């Protein structure tokens, strides 16, 4: 199973909740005006992409307003790290979080994307190691685990971050920006010399389950000519054709080929969704990235929160939880409304 396995802890499967909570099983598509957590704990074991070590991870329920918290249960005192943009300490090849005592956990972006895509507001993530397992290189195994654990709606209102005006960061030929929009959408452009990737562009509205259907299965990717240098630097030691798409010029070396024709740019969307969820709440706005990565997205969040006039925190109304505005969920052309505000 691509080097990972999972197993659910014992837990009640009753649809009847406690303390005004109610449970909704196996559905990452539905968004609610209430906060959510997991119904029960669930474990997985896999290989860390960069260290190559076996790592066990447990996703656990949490109380309202907890947010997403990582705990290093392999260390004395089980130190915790809040999943927040302020706690990002490294963005080379992945996103690494750290606390004031120097405890870190890395490669959090795929799990964060799955939690965002499944609308999980509160969870405690116990990890026995300094890096999360890469699973199959996508967010789909984490989505599966979340659905197996079940989703519990809590008696607490969900808050979202509404983008009030455009915010942009630029570095040479790279750019990331957030624009006002009535829902959460992502646009991304990539450009690589290898012809198997080349230029790819996508615009996707992430409502009504489009993350699970169209983004979650997109795998991380790498290039043959970079593998040796990465491993010499102590990176990608756990990488393989089981957990990454490997490109050599005009060829994809994986036996099964690609899961989507434009899987590369879809994975960049996945990474952006995970990194943006470090804002601490769902974003109501449009993210656009051009050759952007973990660093650019984190810099964008720093810029956003440095200007109180560019955003506001608001409670999500029950009539605003699943809005598609009649627009195609995936296109290669940005919506006219975004072009007007860019």
Please name the residue that has the structure tokens 């070590």: 53
Give the tokens for residue 277.
Answer: 């969820």
The H-or-E segment that residue 312 falls in is: strand 311-315
Q: Which of 146, 128, 129 is nearest to 40 (CA)?
A: 146
Instruction: Report CA-CA distances (Å) from 16 to 12, 168, 265.
Output: 10, 45, 41
The H-or-E segment that residue 46 falls in is: strand 42-47
Selecting among 9, 294, 295, 325, the annotated active-site residue is: 294
The H-or-E segment that residue 337 falls in is: helix 336-341
3-class SS letters over 258-301: CCCCCHHHHHHHHHHHHHHHHHCCCEECEEEEECCCHHHHHHHH
CA distance linking residue 212 with residue 232, whole number of Å: 35
Our answer to whether residue 294 is catalytic in this structure is yes
Assign residue 231 a region: left if phi > 0, alpha if psi is -120 to 50, beta otherwise?
A: alpha
Q: Which of 270, 284, 48 is nearest to 140 (CA)?
A: 270
R_g of the chain, CA atoms, integer Å? 19
Q: Which of 10, 1, 272, 9 is nearest to 126 (CA)?
A: 9
Strand order, beta sheet including 185-191: 167-171, 174-179, 286-290, 185-191, 199-205, 330-331
**Active-site annotation, residues:** 294
């Amino acid at each position: 199973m691509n080097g990972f396995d999972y197993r659910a802890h014992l837990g009640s499967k009753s649809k009847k909740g406690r303390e005004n909570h109610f449970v909704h099983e196996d559905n990452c598509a539905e968004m609610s005006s209430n906060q959510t957590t997991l119904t029960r704990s669930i474990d997985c074991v896999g290989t860390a992409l960069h260290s190559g070590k076996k790592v066990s991870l447990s996703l656990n329920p949490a109380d309202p307003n907890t947010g997403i918290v990582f705990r290093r249960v392999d260390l004395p005192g089980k130190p915790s790290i809040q999943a927040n943009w302020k706690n990002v300490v490294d963005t080379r090849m992945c996103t690494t979080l750290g606390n004031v005592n120097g405890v870190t956990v890395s490669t959090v972006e795929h799990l964060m994307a799955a939690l965002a895509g499944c609308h999980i507001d509160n969870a405690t993530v116990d990890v026995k190691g300094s890096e999360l397992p890469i699973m199959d290189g996508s967010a789909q195994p984490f989505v599966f685990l979340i659905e197996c654990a079940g989703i519990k709606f809590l008696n607490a209102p969900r808050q979202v971050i509404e983008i009030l005006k455009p915010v942009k960061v630029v570095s040479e030929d790279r750019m990331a920006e957030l624009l006002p929009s009535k829902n959460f959408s992502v646009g991304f452009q990539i450009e690589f010399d290898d012809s198997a990737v080349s230029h790819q562009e996508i615009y996707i509205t992430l409502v009504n389950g489009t993350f699970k259907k169209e983004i979650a299965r997109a795998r991380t990717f790498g290039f043959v000519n970079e593998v040796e240098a990465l491993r010499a630097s102590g990176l990608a030691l756990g990488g393989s054709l089981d957990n990454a798409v490997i490109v050599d010029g005009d060829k994809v070396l994986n036996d099964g080929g690609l899961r989507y024709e434009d899987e590369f740019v879809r994975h960049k969307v996945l990474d952006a969704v995970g990194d943006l969820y470090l804002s601490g709440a769902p974003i109501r706005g449009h993210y656009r990235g051009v050759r952007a990565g973990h660093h650019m997205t984190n810099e964008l969040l720093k810029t956003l929160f440095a200007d109180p006039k560019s955003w506001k925190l608001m409670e999500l109304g029950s009539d605003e939880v699943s809005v598609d505005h009649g627009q195609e969920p995936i296109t290669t052309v940005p919506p006219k409304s975004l072009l007007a505000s860019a």
